[in-house]
Amino acid sequence: MHLLAEELQLPAATPTTLTCPCEVADVFDGLPYNRAGQLSNEPGREALTLDLRAGSAVAVTGGNFAGCLGRVVGKNAEGHYLLKVTMDVGGGVCIEEDLLLGSWWLFEARAGQIATLPVVQAA
């Protein structure tokens, strides 16, 4: 690559430091969302903290599992969060489902780029 850069008369490259999602802290403070996971840009609002460390309790905010409770069980090799969610299907029967929360959701949430968080801290 060095020889190609010379041939093309490109300036010397500056090393770049990249952050892998798996190196991001698992506690996200200051998210611009309310306790229901809705984006909230109101002046004086409290910022949401989302704890995604293994063992933390979460509640799903939308989709087929809306309202279901679960636990963070860890992260996969790519740094995405592994969740175990329990759904009451009626008649005293509950099923447990493994869900994956992509780490990209947290980057988008920090920037207030999504309308609703997929999970919030369970009460």
Predicted local confidence at residue 20, as pLDDT: 56
**What is the residue-averaged pLDDT of the chain?**
89
Instruction: Label each residue of the chain as H, E or C.
Output: CHHHHHHCCCCCCCCCCCCCHHHCCCEEEEECECCCCEECCCCCCCCEEEECCCCCEEEECCHHHCCCEEEEEEECCCCCEEEEEEEEEECCEEEEEEEEECCHHHHHHHCCCCCECCEEECC
With 70 as the cut, is the pLDDT of residue 118 above it? yes
Among the ranges given (12-16, 55-59, 107-111), the one the predictor scored with the smallest mean pLDDT: 12-16
Predicted local confidence at residue 18, as pLDDT: 57
Predicted local confidence at residue 101, as pLDDT: 95
With 90 as the cut, is the pLDDT of residue 67 above it? yes
With 70 as the cut, is the pLDDT of residue 22 above it? no
Question: What is the tens place of the pLDDT at every residue in 23-56?
Answer: 558 999 999 999 999 998 777 777 899 999 999 9
